[in-house]
A and B are shown apart, each in its own frame.
Chain A
Amino acid sequence: MSYQGNQTIAYLISSLLGAGIYSFYAIQQYQRGGFASTTISSQWGTAMLVVIGIQIILSIVSAFLVTILQAIREREEKPSLADERDQLIELKANKIAYSVFGIGFLIAMITLAVGLRPLVMFNMLIVSLYTAAILGYIVQLSLYRRGF
């Protein structure tokens, strides 16, 4: 597979890991009754920042690994430019990701409007953020492999 394809897989995996870590934290909080609170404590913000930090590190490491593996296995260097096809694929993937996040944001606001706890809205935003990112990478990967 191409450098771009492998890079997209690496970002997809790091997003899935980030979503997994956050889900693990959220489920633990739910079991401890953390969702019963009517306010969002700073603990949630801290947890999210930690997850984002871990994900950034994972993305950097995976990008580094892909570059090395691609050079060893395929003897292909990292492309020095993003050409029109790369940009078009990114645009199409971003369009899907923004649409998904937009729908998620709308649902999050509806949960708040119907009187559900702010934590539900907060978690809905996080879920839609990760769903959008993951779907965006899947679309990107599919366009690289299938063509358009």
Chain B
Amino acid sequence: MGSKSISNSIRKLRFNHDEMTQQQLAEKAGVTRQTIIAMEQGKYSPSLELAFRIAHVFGVPLDEVFSYDPEIKSP
């Protein structure tokens, strides 16, 4: 499983942005819907560039989308 030490609030942010669909977010961030699904399920940690693109789509700082917990060790 991916780095669980990195979690995200993509699902919540989508909901708060007029219930944006995964497809809409995927198109705005330039990735496939499957990648958004994988990120929401904690199965994929995006690159720094994609993380910034997603934060830009929501118009929030990066740390409002992604958070890092050093206590949880990545496998």
Please name all residues of chain B whose beta carbon is closer than 8 Å to the beta carbon of A79 when the two chains form the complex. 32-34
Q: How many A-B residue pairs have CB under 8 A?
A: 44
Q: A148 to B43, Cβ gap below 8 A?
A: yes
Does B52 touch A at the CB level, under 8 Å?
Answer: no
Q: B34 to A4, Cβ gap below 8 A?
A: yes
Given A147-B2, A147-B38, A148-B2, check contact A83 B43 (CB 8 Å): no
Does B66 touch A at the CB level, under 8 Å?
Answer: no
CB distance from A79 to the nearest CB of B (A): 4
Given A146-B1, A147-B2, A148-B2, check contact A2 B44 (CB 8 Å): no
Does B30 touch A at the CB level, under 8 Å?
Answer: yes
CA distance A4 to B32 in the complex (A): 10
CB distance from B5 to the nearest CB of A (A): 14
For window 1-50 of B, CB contacts with A under 8 Å fall at: 1-2, 30-35, 37-38, 41-44, 46-47, 50
Q: B2 to A85, Cβ gap below 8 A?
A: no
Please list the residues of chain B having a beta carbon within 8 angstroms of any beta carbon in chain A: 1-2, 30-35, 37-38, 41-44, 46-47, 50
Give 10 CB contacts A-B under 8 Å.
A79-B33, A81-B30, A84-B31, A84-B47, A85-B32, A85-B35, A86-B32, A86-B35, A147-B1, A147-B43
